[in-house]
A and B are shown apart, each in its own frame.
Chain A
């Protein structure tokens, strides 16, 4: 298991952001984390990345209880575009790449590749502060990919990105997963969820349902994932 959590709990004051979460993600799995606002998606990802300590419960990331030990192999994209607005696109990617110890020439090649993939080539030398929201999001993703991580933790990476580009994102994620990269993506977008190998539906800090998209649909007897989740929320509300 690349990620394993047991009875993970996180309280913020009185708020139970995570309430006894058990999660297992295998190597090379593309796992989609779904759930309404405030259900604990970001909290879970931050604990896995190692910037947040759980209140109780255990986690193991690539076999280590302290994710920081594996930091070099983890790529993290937080929900807000976390970039240096007074640096250019290229400088941002190159900074984060260098932070993870990517060798200079390899980094140069990787940056060109990423700029191509994310259709950023013509913006490479623009200041990030001048970019549109969706473009920043793409730069932020590029920064998470610069060191070719073995585990990718992406918090709503496709919000604000136009549909055509989103399709190519998912193709890329799938390709990475085939190469053995483990990916955890949080999302609200149900059409995207179809593309995940496995889905977890989070609600009030608990994992409501888990399974392949097809399984979830047939379990609830609904045509689409969207309907399936609405049904799940309705039945769990009782």
Chain B
């Protein structure tokens, strides 16, 4: 039995290559990605702090012992910025100001700290450490870090950071006025992951179903019958696309229904747009399945396309690691992967509440992907084989 299996494997050179090469590729990717995971969070700071004057009573050093009363001007905002730069664990970028959303977009920031004019004043008057924080909110992990890190940092840093010999009150309240560009405080892990996973499932299942059913058409000889009939190649491709897209839509409807109403995830944009995206993506996946079915002799070889087609997309499409944090030489790969555009578009709709206009580029890319696959599929699909 074991001998038979080994013999069959040795005959199937492709399987053999896959069994040994794919793990190496996958683990290389893993290695690269886990090393790059520590990409820093980019935080911008707009420091409008005007500073404040503080009266300091120095202990007497002279004789007769008269305490020296000094008025010192301090800028706590400035001190914080310096402190953050030294040991905050973030990439700190000082910025001049302006419309916060624009500043975040232009500087590709994950978060933006805002120190108002009276920042120092509030501290000196004992009112508390009050500042603004704008979180970009596209990445869940970064959002969580930003939400939690600053409060700790500020309350811990105050004693040491301020001017020597001028003890400030150390039990100042930290009041952060947090705002979000996308998503919001109530968006949790599942809200972030469900959009991309919807895209992923649509792709994965439609692709797999198509490739297997196309292979079955060939194995059972029904393909030959179809080709003997008046059905044109294009009708065959469109029929398949339609059938499986309906299937994929039903599937994503179910997933959406489940996530929206049962798991009660938060979302912003239009459901119809979401459906349209899923449908287009499904058409692309169907035609990719048709195309690749010609490079597989049997179901076993079709299943082998999973590590080749699916796994890199999971790693590189921003599903797990943001594309922005990938090393430069991997980025071009990301940009040829359809899942990149699908998840970016679906994320845009669900988390950012984007309309068609704002995801236009991704939309077009998905349509292009579907067309390209259809074209290539119709090229390899031969009614009359030589």
Residues of A within 8 A of B (CB): 46, 49-53, 68, 71-72, 74, 76, 78, 80-85, 96, 99-101, 143
- Kindly list chain B residues whose C-beta atoms are within 8 Å of the C-beta of A71: 228-230
A53 near B385 with CB under 8 A, answer: yes
- Chain B residue numbers with a CB within 8 Å of A78 are 221, 224-225
Given contacts A50-B384, A52-B385, A53-B386, contact A85 B226 (CB under 8 A): no
Bound CA span A237–B225, Å: 36
* Chain A residue with the shortest CB-CB distance to B232: A68
Q: A76 and B225 in contact (CB under 8 A), knowing A82-B220, A100-B230?
A: yes
Asked if A51 and B230 sit within 8 Å, CB to CB, the answer is: no
- Would you give the shortest CB distance from A66 to chain B, in whole angstroms? 8
> A81 CB to closest chain B CB, in angstroms?
8
- B residues 218-270 near A (Cβ < 8 Å) are 220-222, 224-231
Contact sample, A vs B, 21 pairs, CB 8 Å cutoff: A50-B383, A51-B384, A52-B384, A52-B385, A53-B384, A53-B385, A68-B383, A71-B228, A72-B229, A78-B225, A80-B221, A82-B220, A82-B224, A82-B225, A83-B222, A96-B225, A99-B226, A99-B229, A99-B231, A100-B229, A101-B230
- Please, how many angstroms separate the alpha-carbon atoms of A75 and B221 in the complex? 15
User: Which chain B residues (345-386) contact chain A, with CB distance < 8 Å?
Assistant: 383-386
Does the CB pair B222–A68 fall under 8 Å? no
Q: Is the CB of A84 within 8 A of B222?
A: yes
Q: Which residues of B contact A101 (CB under 8 A)?
A: 230
- Interface residues of B, Cβ cutoff 8 Å to A: 220-222, 224-231, 383-386
Contact B384 A82 (CB under 8 A): no
Q: In the complex, A68→B232 CA distance in Å? A: 9
7 A-B pairs with the lowest CB-CB distances in the bound complex, closest first = A82-B221, A71-B230, A76-B228, A72-B230, A80-B221, A99-B229, A49-B228
Nearest B residue to A143 via CB reads: B225
Q: Are B229 and A83 in contact (CB under 8 A)?
A: no
Give the shortest distance, in Å, between A9 (CB) and chain B (any CB).
13
Complex contacts, B383 vs chain A, CB 8 Å: 50-51, 68
Q: With A and B bound together, what is the CA distance between A81 and B224 in angstroms? A: 11
B231 touches A80 (CB 8 A): no
| Distance A85 CA – B221 CA, assembled complex (angstroms) | 11
Assuming A78-B221, A80-B221, is B386 touching A51 (CB within 8 A)? Answer: no
CB contacts (< 8 Å) of A50 on chain B: these are: 227-228, 383-384
Most buried by B among A72, A82, A84, A143: A82
Question: What is the chain B residue whose CB lies nearest that of A68?
Answer: B383
Q: What chain B residues lie within 8 Å of A76 (beta carbons)?
A: 225, 228
How many Å from the CB of B212 to the closest CB on chain A?
12
| Nearest opposing residue in chain B for A86, CB measure | B216
A96→B221 CA distance, assembly (Å): 13
Q: Chain A contacts of B225 at CB under 8 A?
A: 76, 78, 82, 96, 143
Report yes or no: B385 in contact with A83, Cβ–Cβ below 8 A: no
* In the complex, chain B residues whose CB is within 8 Å of the CB of A53: 384-386
Contact A82/B222 with A51-B384, A51-B385 known, Cβ cut-off 8 Å: yes
Contact partners of B227 in chain A: CB under 8 A: 50-51
Q: Knowing that A53-B385, A83-B222, A100-B229 are A-B contacts, what are 8 other residue pairs whose CB atoms are under 8 Å apart, sorted by A's residue number?
A: A51-B228, A51-B383, A51-B384, A51-B385, A68-B230, A76-B225, A76-B228, A99-B229
Interface-central residue, B230, B383, B385, B386, by most chain A CB under 10 Å: B230
Question: How far is B230's CA from A74's CA once the two chains are assembled, in angstroms?
Answer: 9
Q: Is the CB of B224 within 8 A of A68?
A: no
Nearest CB to that of A147 among chain B residues?
Answer: B229
State in angstroms the CA–CA spacing of A82 and B226 once bound together: 10
- A74 lies within 8 A of B228 (CB): yes
Q: CA–CA, A69 to B86, complex, Å?
A: 78
Contacts of A81 in B (CB 8 A): 221
Nearest A residue to B231 by beta-carbon distance?
Answer: A99
B219: nearest chain-A partner, CB-CB: A80
Q: How far is the CA of A51 from the CA of B218 in the complex (A)?
A: 13
With contacts A52-B385, A68-B383, A76-B225 taken as known, whether A83 is within 8 angstroms of B220 at the C-beta atoms is yes
Name the CB-closest residue of B to A71: B230
Q: A50 vs B221: C-alpha distance in the bound complex, in angstroms?
A: 14
B386 contact set on A, CB distance < 8 A: 52-53
